[in-house]
Structure 1
Amino acid sequence: MGHSEKTTFIRKKNKWLSLYDLKKIWNPEWFQGNRRKKNYFEGWYFKNVSACGENAIAFIPGISLNTENPHAFVQVISGKTGDTWYFKYPADDFCYAPNTFAVKVNDSFFSAGQINVNLNENKQTIKGNLKFSNRQTYPVSLRRPGIMGWYRYMPFMECYHGVVSLDHTVEGEIQLNSQPIKFDQGKGYIEKDWGSSMPETWVWMQSNNFETPGTSFMLSIAKIPWMGSSFPGFLGFFLHNNKQIHFATYTGAKISSLERNGDQLSLCIETKDFSIHIQAEKEENILNKGALKAPAKGQMERIIHESVNATIYIAVIKKNSLPVFKGIGHNAGFEMIGNTTLLKPQT
């Protein structure tokens, strides 16, 4: 299992670590649920795309804590076919490292530097090792402990979001039912969610497969419950030429327009310095595939659909100046869940 053999792991139920509780706030990639026992989920999203863009595969390891059906899991989605698999394990098969980001689910290992997967159930076998390098990270500070900003400090949020790697290089091979998929000089991205439930409605899109290497984009818009009411909130980033542009509700950025037409979405984000124009669309031949399980009150019973073969058109324009970037992101992750009209800007 490579580096996983050198990592010390502890089981979910065994440790209440006071120092860990403090450190994890500024390390959102770490396991956050060490004190949670029910109505809780946590999952990491590892997207991997081959160098030529022909193959994409995403792994989602995680844990679901509830009174009826607590368990650990690894979800897998193929970008080429839209097929998905859900490998379920006892909750005690989930372990995490006490001083870094590394988790094990049964015989599979996941960290910021590599994954080793050994998944076998119902005649489905997925095995292999991928190593990650040249990782670009999201900055963390006291004022902004990750991409959620000061909302990260709020203890009553329904769902929290973290970005582990904006962009990195992938090397290795995955065998999908004995068929080898090579990822040498591929591209990778890692993020995560944790909390009690995913939002009632949301839009999420991500790509780091642009013509210009090192370019990456992610946007998440959701209906956010807040003190008995709700509001449409968003967060995201654009990485290009080693520079990051951050935009979110808490930064004062605004979504000036948002229009959905079937499985296409067009919108514009206005920040103090930039206008960001976006159009995302799903691949027609897999519109009804990509079924994944999502949490509600910690239980993985909600079915959503994700494409990892979508396309994102993006233009970033510096105000009172020329465009900073215009390009097309391929092999994009794209979700539109629930009544997305609730996310339109309020006039």
Structure 2
Amino acid sequence: MSKMQTPHSGYHWDGGNRRFFEGWYYRVTLPDCGQTFAFMYSIEDPIGGKPDSGGAAQILGADDEYICRTFPDVNKFWASPDVLALGHWGETNLNTKPIYLLPAEFATHVQQGYQATATLNQGIIKDPATGNYCQWQYEIQPLYGWGNRDSMQQSTAGWLSFLQIFEPGWQILMAHGLASGWIDWNGKIYQFQNAPAYSEKNWGGAFPQKWFWVNCNSFDGEPDLALTAGGGRRGVLWWMESVAMIGLHYQGKFYEFVPWNAKVEWKIQPWGKWEMKATNSDYEVKLTGTTHLPGTPLRAPTAQGLQFCCRDTMQGKLDIELRQIRGENRLVILKAHSHLCGLEIGGGSWDDCWQSS
């Protein structure tokens, strides 16, 4: 087990028949051509035989274009309870129980499907309606999990996430890493070496009513910087609460702004502008994400199964400033900019601006 491994890296399903989903997100950004590829894998009601039982692979690819493939057979899904490792076979000439395959074996035997670990992301999906396809294989070198380098990694939602109090659970698996390999997007092949990579996951039996997300680890002139921020309205036991957090990895250090150690404020437009600010006893951070692009609708697990209920762009602009608080003074530690930021809103009631009180 790697010391970079975060809590919640393993698969959470306990074999029960209650409503359950688990989703994984892998992203690689290619600064040279300004493109990003995000791979979203999910499994719902893995016990099988329920209206929403099944899996899917979605990709938000070049120029925010989208492809999705469903895998209805839950028995062809596998995942490790102990480490980050999962896969789903669609079309294959193998009759064996699905397991991790060596990359060359996977490429030979699986015509539709994927497999992913902490150090590999591989797969192939085709859309029979359009003929569009994506095939990919890249290796990942993790640099940051979720926490300071060389120390115990933390759970994103704090110690409470170990109890079934919060749903859904959310864990950043790798805030920053380097990916090397290739992606074939409808015949255009993107080859890359040490490209910024990221991964996260969520799981549970309940679904957030509404959420927002800002994610970037490809900044101008700052190779050792990664930001993930987000917030949502989610169920806690029998009430709903609105929470948000900002996490920043920079030059070996983790700056965490969460409800139990900081004041986190946000102002999110229905689309186009994401503003957040957080202050704890030692630091304050401000970020603004913007886009003029329309964004792409994506599917997400809901109480009614996988539905189009969020909107993303991977080509947002981001400005971020981190300051150290010294008495009355504010010392600027970092000012950074990116034009390759992931921006998302999801869930219902985005008729007007969502502002924290």
1:86 corresponds to which residue? 68
Give the one of 31, 40, 51 matched to 1:68: 51
Q: TM-score, normalised by structure 1?
A: 0.84
Q: 1:29 to 1:343 in 2, by over 3 A?
A: farther
2: CA distance between counterparts of 1:224 and 1:61? Answer: 21
Q: Does residue 135 of structure 2 align to residue 127 of structure 1? A: yes
2:93 corresponds to which residue? none
1:295 corresponds to which residue? 301
Structure 1 residues not aligned, in runs of 5+:
1-24
Q: 1:177 to 1:127 in 2, by over 3 A?
A: same
Q: In the comparison of the two structures, how many residue pairs are matched?
A: 315
2: CA distance between counterparts of 1:213 and 1:276? Answer: 19
More helix by percentage: 1
1:40 Cα deviation from its structure 2 partner: 1.2
Structure 2 residues not aligned, in runs of 5+:
90-112
Task: Say if 1:232 and 1:342, in contact at 8 Å, map to a contact too.
Answer: no
1:56 Cα deviation from its structure 2 partner: 0.8
Structure 2: which amino acid aligns with 1:132? Answer: I
Structure 2: which amino acid aligns with 1:120? Answer: K
Task: Say if 2:120 and 2:140, in contact at 8 Å, map to a contact too.
Answer: yes
Give the 3-state SS of the residue equivalent to 1:151 in structure 2: helix
2: CA distance between counterparts of 1:166 and 1:75? Answer: 21
Task: Say if 1:51 and 1:184, in contact at 8 Å, map to a contact too.
Answer: no
1:239-258 aligned within 5 A: 239-251=249-261, 253-256=262-265, 258=267
2: CA distance between counterparts of 1:210 and 1:237? Answer: 15
2: CA distance between counterparts of 1:53 and 1:197? Answer: 38
1:321 Cα deviation from its structure 2 partner: 3.6
Counting aligned pairs with the same residue, the percent is: 15
1: CA distance between counterparts of 2:8 and 2:166? Answer: 15
1:157 Cα deviation from its structure 2 partner: 2.3
Q: Deviations over 1:266-307 (max 9, x none)?
A: 23111121111111112x23x1x4221111127112431111
Q: Does residue 245 of structure 2 align to residue 226 of structure 1? A: no
Q: TM-score, normalised by structure 2?
A: 0.81
Task: Say if 2:6 and 2:146, in contact at 8 Å, map to a contact too.
Answer: no
Give the one of 328, 332, 356 matched to 1:345: 356
2: CA distance between counterparts of 1:50 and 1:117? Answer: 19
Give the 3-state SS of the residue equivalent to 2:160 in structure 1: helix
2: CA distance between counterparts of 1:73 and 1:116? Answer: 15
1: CA distance between counterparts of 2:279 and 2:21? Answer: 33
Higher relative contact order (CA 8 A, sep 6+): 1
Q: What is the Cα-based RMSD across aligned positions, in Å?
A: 2.4
